[in-house]
Amino acid sequence: MALDRKIAYINLSTGEIRKGDIPLEWRKKFIGGRGLDAYLLYTNNPPGIDAFDPENRVLISAGIVVGALASASARTHIMSKSPLTNFLGSANMGGWFAPEMRWAGFDHLVISGKAEKPVYLWIHNGEIEIRDAKNIWGENIYDTQTILRQELNDNEIQTLCIGPAGENLVRFANVMTGRKNAGGRTGMGAVLGSKNLKAVVCRGTMDIKIKYPEEALKYNEELINQIISSKVSQTMQRWGTMFIYGTTNSTGLVRTRNFQLNQLVGGSDIECENLDKVSIGLDGCFGCQVHCRHRYVIKDGPYAGTYAQGPEYTSQGAFGAEVGCNNMNTILVGNHLVNSYGLDTLETGSMMAWAMELYEKGILTDRDTDGLRLEWGDDEAVLELIKKIATREGIGDILADGPLRAAKKIGKGSETYLVHVKGMSNLHSDERPTPSLALGIATASRGSDHLRSRPAIDLYNLPVQVLEKVYRQPDGYDGPLTSGYTKYEGKPRIVLWQELCYMAVDCTGMCKYHTVFLSPNHPNFPEFAKMIYYNTGLEFTPKEIWDIANRCYTIERLFNIREGLTRKDDWLVDRYFDEPTKRGLPVAYNKKMDRKKFKAMIDEYYSLHKWDNDGVPTPELLKDLDIADLYPEESRQERKGK
């Protein structure tokens, strides 16, 4: 049957492995993937524990249509308490791991405990073994996967693993599958490192029975046509996500030199068109026709001849605009290094840019950096600092602890120059001219984040009629919607809509670029309903999927509330309100956020969510979503008492 994949509970301290069915009731309430992970984390994790406590669970999952007849149904999700933010940890990656995990018989892994020595999990056709990892501990991401393929004598295995950064408990270490697919945000690699869990390896040949195979195949064809006939997809087929930089940097929406500027003037060398000089073709994730991942060979410098994949838009900021570099080779090498060490590219770039601003202001000196001159645009210093962070050497050891802890150690007012929300750094986008994007990063469930609620199509200044077609369904919203990305009015709704759309797509296991992220014409709730039905036989209306996504997002919110989140955490650093932008087109120039208007946006956003004034989901909402038992009245009263 279509829904016969299992859940496994793995205790690394005791070696106990328990397998079970996934109840149909869970499917109907949470679908799968990120949504079911949220429920499992909330109900299995002891409240308030440290992220490195062995009792902190790690969830690894595949969405409900992963590996089936659905386009780009390739996504792996990983969730835990974050060692970076102390709130929700969650990351999502493409590639081939999640399909292989399903073909090996499992949809969800719930991992607890800590192994006495380094181990990896070997999952194959319904079996799970805990194996010694001493010969791969210390190896980088690429070599770890190569050694495991040799050890298991199988080139078809798929591996999710950590690199040296995760082993060294860098609080923004990622998990990787393949050479490039990164579960980057919130430090999930460090949690695996704290458990001595180096890798999870899958190999499976167990069929996934499609409920209505002919209809599913036909419908998948429709979906693929819908997706790849858009201009956005066609551009991504040539240059991947780096194409976005053309729009954002041209306008003045790119965080440059940490947060001092909003545009890398003359930054033409790092434009995606220059990838053509090094690219040897593009690759794709399971089931995807877009193929947005470049394969390239580094041409210059000490890494010349190295093969790597990527980079993405995020790395253009991390090793380009944020640190003031205008050198494609630095982007390519930086991308290779973070992937090899297992570091989140975004957080790494942001921490380096912050350190450079501190150096410029004399808060950090050569004594602090062991003589490394952290000057804007110094390509060699950037690449050297990546290594120091991954290996926790010198100043890198401080930066490896993430924004808030590093600022506490450095002191001297250094926190003033951080650009973060909830202790996680912002993307290299500059949201001062774009209130909807600013609201999204301020309220996202995993800290500052552009992949949890970003209404990116707001940047297109689409006519209201187009916005209405997208944002009024499936619940019949009849409030305001406005065209124009500098406006505050009507934006909370589109942030909320995107939150639930992205949650829904993460429950299915499809790629976000296959939904309304960069194109208003891409699939969303009605298409998700059909795809799930043809593949699994589960019947949902678009509105029911909306409600499920709302339920899952609310549980993520409850997790954060339980870990101590308050309204003040849904806010931006003062620089957004006090420092106007200095560059860009008139539409983006001399812009800063308005505190009063932004507060009103948060009020409206909470109200639309049916959260109270402190951002806590109301009893009425929890009752409507049938999860009132997850946050009983005693918990509410206890919080008020604090």
Partner 1 sequence: MKIKKVMEGARDGEIRCLACFTRFRPKRGVDRAACPSCGVQWRISWPYPKTARLQGPVWETYPKPGEPIAKK
Instruction: Note whether 42 and 559 are within 8 A (CB).
Output: yes
Instruction: Please tell me the distance from the alpha carbon of residue 162 to that of residue 201, in angstroms, as a whole number.
Output: 12
Residue in 362, 405, 364 with CA at minimum distance from that of residue 385: 364
- Does 313 contact partner 1 by CB under 8 A? no
Contact between residue 278 and residue 308 where contact means Cβ atoms under 8 Å apart: no
| Contact residue for partner 1 among 100, 139, 167, 271 (CB under 8 A) | 271
Q: Using the rule CB under 8 A, is 231 a contact of partner 1?
A: yes
Task: State which residue, 225 or 365, has the beta carbon closest to partner 1.
Answer: 225
- Provide the minimum distance between the beta carbon of 239 and partner 1 in the complex, in angstroms, as a whole number: 7
Q: Is 585 in the site for partner 1 (CB under 8 A)?
A: yes
255 sits near partner 1 (criterion: CB under 8 A): no
- The b/e string for 209-220 (b: 16+ C-beta within 10 A; e otherwise) is ebbbeeebeebb
240 is an interface residue for partner 1 by CB under 8 A: no
Closest CB to partner 1 among residues 235, 369? 235
Q: Does 250 sit near partner 1 (CB under 8 A)?
A: yes
Measured CA to CA in angstroms, residue 143 lies from 136, 162, 271, 337, 461 at distances of: 8, 11, 30, 13, 46
The reply on whether position 304 binds partner 1 by CB under 8 A is no
Selected binder of partner 1 within 13, 43, 205, 268 (CB under 8 A): 268
Torsion of CA 514, 518, 520, 522, to 10 degrees: -10
Q: Is 583 in the site for partner 1 (CB under 8 A)?
A: yes
The yes or no reply on residue 469 touching partner 1 (CB under 8 A) is: no
Q: Does 574 bind partner 1 (CB under 8 A)?
A: no
Q: Does 541 bind partner 1 (CB under 8 A)?
A: no
Q: What is the DSSP string of 106-148?
A: EEEEEEES--SS-EEEEEETTEEEEEE-TTTTT--HHHHHHHH
Q: Which of these segments, 176-184, 237-245, 448-456, 592-600, binds partner 1 (CB under 8 A)?
A: 237-245
Minimum CB distance to partner 1, residue 382 (Å) = 22
Q: For residues 437 and 429, give the distance between their C-alpha atoms in angstroms, rounded to a whole number.
A: 9
Q: Which of 11, 146, 289, 473 binds partner 1 (CB under 8 A)?
A: 289
Residue 140 binds partner 1, judged by CB under 8 A: no
Residue 584 binding partner 1, by CB under 8 A: yes
Paired residues of 282 in beta bridges:
294
Q: Which is nearer to partner 1, 24 or 585 (CB)?
A: 585
Q: Which is nearer to partner 1, 135 or 234 (CB)?
A: 234
Q: Give the nearest distance from C-beta 589 to partner 1 in angstroms.
A: 6
CB closer to partner 1, 38 vs 292: 292
Please state, in angstroms and as integers, the Cα–Cα distance from residue 80 to each residue in 31, 227, 240, 369, following that order: 19, 32, 29, 33
CB of 266 to partner 1, least distance (A): 5
Residue bearing tokens 């205790």: 11
Cα–Cα distance, 8 to 509 (Å, whole number): 19
Tell me: does residue 221 bind partner 1 (CB under 8 A): yes
Question: Which of 219, 243, 488, 576 lies at the binding interface for partner 1 (CB under 8 A)?
Answer: 243
User: Between residues 125 and 590, which has the closer beta carbon with respect to partner 1?
Assistant: 590
Should residue 212 be labelled a site residue for partner 1 when binding is judged by CB under 8 A?
Answer: no
Q: Is residue 590 a contact point for partner 1 (CB under 8 A)?
A: yes
Is residue 225 close enough to count as binding partner 1 by CB under 8 A?
yes
Give the count of residues interacting with partner 1 (CB under 8 A). 35
Q: For partner 1, which is the closer residue by CB, 271 or 499?
A: 271
Given 52, 533, 577, 589, the residue binding partner 1 (CB under 8 A): 589
Using left for φ > 0, alpha for ψ between -120 and 50, and beta otherwise, residue 269 falls in alpha
Check binding of 281 to partner 1 (CB under 8 A): no
Q: Which is nearer to partner 1, 269 or 614 (CB)?
A: 269
Q: Which two tokens stand for residue 292?
A: 């947005």
173: left (phi over 0), alpha (psi -120 to 50) or beta: beta
- Pick from 57, 42, 197: which is nearest to 123 by CA? 197
- The answer to the question of residue 613 lying near partner 1 (CB under 8 A) is no
Which token pair is 253?
């929406």
Rounded to a whole number of angstroms, the minimum distance from the CB of residue 231 to partner 1 is 6
283: phi then psi, degrees, rounded to nearest 5: -125, 165
Q: Is residue 376 a contact point for partner 1 (CB under 8 A)?
A: no
Q: Which residue number, 118 or 324, has a Cβ lying nearer to partner 1?
A: 324
Tell me whether the omega of the peptide bond preceding residue 542 falls within 30 degrees of 0, making it cis: no
Under the binding rule (CB under 8 A), the answer on residue 586 touching partner 1 is: yes
Q: 3-class SS at 92?
A: strand
Stretch that binds partner 1, among 232-240, 365-373, 381-389, 598-606 (CB under 8 A): 232-240
Provide the minimum distance between the beta carbon of 244 and partner 1 in the complex, in angstroms, as a whole number: 11
Q: Contact between 486 and partner 1 (CB under 8 A)? A: no
Which residues does residue 127 pair with via DSSP β-bridges, in sequence order?
124
Residue type (1 letter), 412? K
Question: Which residue, 108, 112, 81, 109, is CA-closest to 11?
Answer: 112
324 touches partner 1 (CB under 8 A): no
Contacts of 233 (CB under 8 A, 6+ apart): 227, 290, 513, 519
Q: Closer CB to partner 1, residue 527 or residue 547? A: 527
Sole binder of partner 1 in the list 43, 229, 541, 613 (CB under 8 A):
229
Determine which residue in the list 126, 138, 246, 520 makes contact with partner 1, applying CB under 8 A.
246
d(CA 303, CA 533): 48
Q: H helices within 288-394, ranges in order?
A: 313-316, 328-341, 345-360, 379-391
Q: Which of 85, 116, 68, 310 is nearest to 212 (CA)?
A: 68
Stretch that binds partner 1, among 172-180, 234-242, 596-604, 621-629 (CB under 8 A): 234-242
By CB under 8 A, is residue 354 in contact with partner 1?
Answer: no
Which residues sit at the interface with partner 1, rule CB under 8 A? Answer: 217, 221, 224-225, 228-231, 234-235, 237-239, 243, 246-247, 249-251, 265-266, 268, 271, 273, 289, 460-461, 582-587, 589-590
